[in-house]
Amino acid sequence: MPSMTGIISTNYSPDNCGILAEDRGIAALPFFGRYRLVDFPLSNMVNSGITDLGIIAPTNFRALLDHVGIGKEWALSRKSGGLHILPGSPFGQKNLNGRFLINDILKNKEVIDKLINEYIAISATSKIFNLDYNEVLEYHLNNNADITLIYKENLSRLGPKDYSILTESDKVVSISNSSEDRNNCFLDSLIINKSILRYIVYNCKQDEHLDLLEYLSKNVTDLNIFAYKYVGYVGSFNSVRDYLKTNQQLLDCNIKSEVFNKHRPIITKTQDNPPAKYTSSSNINDSVISTGCIIKGTVDNSIIFRGVIIEENTIVKNSIIFQNSTIGKNSYLDNVVMDKQTNIDDYMSITGDYRDPIVLDKNNKYRKDRIYNVKPNKKRS
Amino acid sequence: MNNKKILAMLLAGGQGSRLGYLTKDVAKPAVSFGGKYRMIDFSLSNCANSGIDTVGVLTQYRPHLLYSYLGNGAAWDLDYSNGGLHILPPYYTEEGGNWYNGTADAIYSNLDFLDRFNPKLVIILSGDHLYKMDYRKFISFHERKNADVTISTITVPIEEACRFGILTTDSNYKLINFEEKPNDPKSNIASMGIYLFDYSVLKEALQKDHENINSNKDFGKNVIPSLLNSGHNLYAYVFQDYWQDCGTIESYYNSQMGLLKDVPDFDIFDKRFKIYSNTNISPPHHISKKGNAKQSLISNGAYIGGEVYNSVISNDAYIGDNATIKNSLVLPRAKVLDNSYINYSIVCEKAIVAKNSYIEGSIENIKLISS
């Protein structure tokens, strides 16, 4: 099997995740206790033997860079190849038509020009799945394709940047982000031949704002595009509600063991926290709890990130608590997504609706003698 | 020549036969501890937290898991181009080769390694002690006293003193007498087996000890007493924090149970003095609908389908549905299948406890469950 080069696009707006992704960018959005979204495409590529990999970074790349560093955890700190952080253009965040700004690739054309590998795997970072790109490449080669788009049947909750495809005997005949028939959802992942990518990039030189998928949808008949059906689990969300739901879906042991496949592990930055500690007053029901936590209260159907402290007689239900947050005694949280380093006082009750969870901003203190009007999905002005 | 100020030599070759099945396949420093650690993490973390950037790890018995765990030392921030972590197994020379024959012989055999860095001071450490120590304080004591050798000590109950090397000092902490495991101990100041040497003194002492055919080639039995007899300046440094040698099943079990207290004997949550380890990349642990956990430590990758009380559940361990784990240690990748009951036991690494098992040890007799 020939080798591939990887490109991960993270330079696009996170749409409806509100303040959760506003500062940190979509790639660094925390997920399932210890991960960030970029871990999934990054690990998929590394587990497929890709050792030469570029991440197109958004202009607010601090959190992303803090997480991936020089790629040590993914064994991408290489003398030859390894991880490249590629600067993306400021327009990326305003691109309404997709997640792959062609201009971002053109801007980093030195990297494309130097590529030795003939095949390029490209992925965005919004969807959760565990994929072996080698299987896609084999399919790509057997079909003699220019491009192979990876899709999932019957994926619900699509957003405006999600494309669906129509196929005729595996060949893609239509790509659209607006059509009625949205059965086959493109998973923001594809394999493309280097020569085709180069042709597209140079051909679109004049248009700074064109998205790769937009281009493909207009030129679908001129190109030899195939579709690869992914049959495993896909987690996808376009709202805080669905973000919470997707996290909870992974509490299902079958889904969990499929996504966190032992042979293709999802790799992330390690932090040297001690194991989680439970005291005699703790009660846990169907929850995932990370290292460094101290749990004295009750946790139910929730995801607790690293270093969280939950005090006595406190109940945390149907919620996600990001790292290093603390929740005081005798408090009650239901349907809350709480960003990192946030403190909740004793005797506080914060209850969201499962259709509309409450989002608490990071680095905040919520004190019981004040009134909070916390609205989900509201951007900071 | 490198001229390091301080270099650490970590003795990690011991078999640890008193730990029974726990060290059947792995060296004692590689035995799992506290859910996600291995014994050697504590000494290596002390080095990292004390600014020691060059560590030689002396290995001998069953080294493979230890080697792969240590890697290039990056997990403890010990991957330096000028220094870093070095694994030092026994080797062969033109005069032949031997296994390390005692602690002093192990260091003697690696004088070449020490010469390459030509350190001013050498600290001798063990790979199986549970403690947090800023060696910089130890070093500045040594320098202040202008000592040739400083021995780190703790006070022990007098009835236990016969298990240790026992020191008597003058009011200035200068060593007057040293006895290894005395029948009739003269004090309760015990050696922790941690020595700080001026390298020139160490080198000369090891060369002399090597030539002495009657010597057991042991620091406590031979090197320290002979340095004392030859009039060197030996001092005792009094370490006042928690220290535990985990060389027996009893101390191995009790020191981990001590982590579970509300105010633990040994605080692994202290952010100012982190314990580093070569961590796995498993997802966070999952406690299911039927599961619960109280008074316990649980690590990444574990699945808890049953009740866990006053126990340590290590990385990637599996507790089946309706199983009960009490007062026990479940080591990495062990599986306790559905409906089993385990009390006062240690479930060894990768061991599998069949469904519906009933295993009950006692505080005096901790059961060791191998596969």
CB-based contact (8 Å) between A203 and chain B? no
For chain B, domains (ranges, CATH) are 6-259 (3.90.550.10), 282-371 (2.160.10.10)
- pLDDT exceeds cutoff 60 at A56: yes
As to burial, measured by CB atoms within 10 angstroms (0-12 exposed, 13-18 middle, 19+ buried), residue A328 is buried
Residue B354 CB neighbours (<10 A): 11
Q: Do A242 and A103 lie in a common domain?
A: yes
Are A285 and B262 an interchain contact pair (Cβ–Cβ within 8 Å)?
A: no
Q: For residue A267, is it within any domain?
A: no
Reference B305, options B334, B278, B336; nearest CA is B336
* Token duo for residue A138: 């084999």
Are B281 and A288 an interchain contact pair (Cβ–Cβ within 8 Å)?
A: no
CB-based contact (8 Å) between A77 and chain B? no
Q: What is the CA radius of gyration of chain A?
A: 21
Q: Do A113 and A81 lie in a common domain?
A: yes
As to burial, measured by CB atoms within 10 angstroms (0-12 exposed, 13-18 middle, 19+ buried), residue B232 is middle
Question: What number of C-beta contacts closer than 8 Å exist between A and B?
Answer: 107
pLDDT-derived band at A373 (thresholds 50, 70, 90) equals low
Q: What percent of chain A has pLDDT over 70?
A: 96
Q: Do A155 and A253 lie in a common domain?
A: yes
Reference B108, options B88, B127, B129; nearest CA is B88
pLDDT-derived band at A369 (thresholds 50, 70, 90) equals low
Q: For residue A16, is it within any domain?
A: yes
pTM confidence score: 0.93
Q: Do A84 and A196 lie in a common domain?
A: yes
Q: Which helix (H) or strand (E) holds A53?
A: strand A52-57
Q: For residue B316, give the DSSP letter.
A: T
- pLDDT exceeds cutoff 80 at A112: no
The interface pTM score, or ipTM, of the predicted complex is 0.92
pLDDT score of B2 = 72
Q: Give yes or no for a contact between A216 and A225, defined as CB atoms under 8 angstroms apart.
A: yes
CA distance A174 to chain B (A): 38
Examine the fold and report which residue of A259, A288, A322 is the final residue of a domain before the chain moves on. Answer: A259
Residue A288 with chain B: CB contacts under 8 Å: 283-287
What is the count of structural domains for chain A? 2
Residues B46-61 have pLDDT tens digits of: 999 999 999 999 998 8
- pLDDT exceeds cutoff 70 at A84: yes
Instruction: Pick the residue of B45, B81, B298 with the most A CBs within 10 A to test the interface with A by mutation.
Output: B298
Are B274 and A272 an interchain contact pair (Cβ–Cβ within 8 Å)?
A: yes
CATH code (residue A233): 3.90.550.10
d(CA B25, CA A218): 62
Residue A275 with chain B: CB contacts under 8 Å: 34-36, 268, 297-300, 312-314
pLDDT-derived band at A180 (thresholds 50, 70, 90) equals low
- pLDDT exceeds cutoff 70 at A176: yes
Q: Do A246 and A286 lie in a common domain?
A: no
Residue B291 with chain A: CB contacts under 8 Å: 284-285
Instruction: Pick the residue of A79, A273, A283 with the most B CBs within 10 A to test the interface with B by mutation.
Output: A273
Q: Do A46 and A103 lie in a common domain?
A: yes
pLDDT-derived band at A179 (thresholds 50, 70, 90) equals low
Are A275 and B289 an interchain contact pair (Cβ–Cβ within 8 Å)?
A: no
pLDDT-derived band at A129 (thresholds 50, 70, 90) equals very high
Taking the alpha carbons of A325, B288, A239, A208 in that order, is the dihedral positive or negative? Answer: positive
Q: Do A323 and A209 lie in a common domain?
A: no
Q: What percent of chain B has pLDDT over 70?
A: 100
d(CA B321, CA B316): 16
For A151, the domain range is 4-259
Cross-chain CB nearest to B298 (options A275, A280, A285) = A275
CB-based contact (8 Å) between A311 and chain B? no
pLDDT-derived band at A372 (thresholds 50, 70, 90) equals low
Mean pLDDT over each residue of chain A, to the nearest integer: 92
Instruction: Pick the residue of A35, A262, A277 with the most B CBs within 10 A to test the interface with B by mutation.
Output: A277
Residue B36 with chain A: CB contacts under 8 Å: 274-275, 291
pLDDT score of A377 = 44
Examine the fold and report which residue of A224, A259, A294 is the final residue of a domain before the chain moves on. Answer: A259
A229-268 per-residue burial string, b: 16 or more CB within 10 A, e: under 16: ebeebbbbbbbbbbbbbbbbbbbeeebbeebbbeebbbbb
Residues B209-226 have pLDDT tens digits of: 999 999 999 999 999 999
Are B262 and A279 an interchain contact pair (Cβ–Cβ within 8 Å)?
A: yes
Are A260 and B283 an interchain contact pair (Cβ–Cβ within 8 Å)?
A: yes
CB-based contact (8 Å) between A272 and chain B? yes
Q: Do A88 and A46 lie in a common domain?
A: yes
Q: Do A79 and A142 lie in a common domain?
A: yes
Taking the alpha carbons of B318, B323, B327, B328 in that order, is the dihedral positive or negative? Answer: negative
- pLDDT exceeds cutoff 60 at A380: no
CA distance B120 to chain A (A): 32
Q: For residue A220, is it within any domain?
A: yes
Q: For residue A113, is it within any domain?
A: yes
CA distance A33 to chain B (A): 6
pLDDT score of A228 = 97
pLDDT score of B371 = 73
Q: Which helix (H) or strand (E) holds A67?
A: helix A62-68
Q: For residue A92, is it within any domain?
A: yes
Q: For residue A164, is it within any domain?
A: yes
Cross-chain CB nearest to B277 (options A32, A73, A272) = A272
Q: For residue A296, is it within any domain?
A: yes
Q: Do A248 and A312 lie in a common domain?
A: no
CB-based contact (8 Å) between A261 and chain B? no
Q: Do A283 and A254 lie in a common domain?
A: no
pLDDT-derived band at B98 (thresholds 50, 70, 90) equals confident
Residue A280 with chain B: CB contacts under 8 Å: 294-295
Residue A320 with chain B: CB contacts under 8 Å: none
Q: Give yes or no for a contact between B326 and B340, defined as CB atoms under 8 angstroms apart.
A: no
Lowest mean pLDDT among A339-348, B20-29, B143-152, B329-338: B20-29
Are B284 and A32 an interchain contact pair (Cβ–Cβ within 8 Å)?
A: yes
Residue A277 with chain B: CB contacts under 8 Å: 260, 269, 296-297
pLDDT score of B147 = 97
Q: For residue A231, is it within any domain?
A: yes
CB-based contact (8 Å) between A72 and chain B? yes
- pLDDT exceeds cutoff 80 at B342: yes
B248-271 mean pLDDT = 94
- B-contacting residues in A 112-151 (Cβ below 8 Å): none
pLDDT score of B346 = 97
Residue A287 with chain B: CB contacts under 8 Å: 286-287
Residue with tokens 């990876």: A150
Cross-chain CB nearest to B283 (options A256, A274, A279) = A256
Residues B224-239 have pLDDT tens digits of: 999 999 999 999 999 9
Q: Give yes or no for a contact between A121 and A170, defined as CB atoms under 8 angstroms apart.
A: no
Q: Do A249 and A286 lie in a common domain?
A: no
Three-class SS of A245-292: HHHHHCCCHHHHHHHCCCCCCCCCCCCCCCCEEECCCCEEECEEECCC
Residue A268 with chain B: CB contacts under 8 Å: 281
- pLDDT exceeds cutoff 50 at B18: yes
Residues A195-235 have pLDDT tens digits of: 999 999 998 888 888 999 999 999 999 999 999 999 999 99
Residues B131-187 have pLDDT tens digits of: 999 999 999 999 999 999 999 999 999 988 988 999 999 999 999 999 988 999 999
pLDDT score of B136 = 97
B312-330 per-residue burial string, b: 16 or more CB within 10 A, e: under 16: bbbbbbbbbbbbbbbbbbb
Residues B160-175 have pLDDT tens digits of: 898 899 999 999 999 9
d(CA B14, CA B29): 8
For residue A304, what is the nearest residue in chain B, using CA coordinates?
Answer: B284
pLDDT score of A381 = 42
Instruction: Pick the residue of A284, A287, A312, A317 with the most B CBs within 10 A to test the interface with B by mutation.
Output: A284
Examine the fold and report which residue of A259, A291, A313 is the final residue of a domain before the chain moves on. Answer: A259
CA distance B55 to chain A (A): 20
pLDDT score of A22 = 85
* Residue with the larger pLDDT of the pair A369 and A93: A93
Residue A143 CB neighbours (<10 A): 16
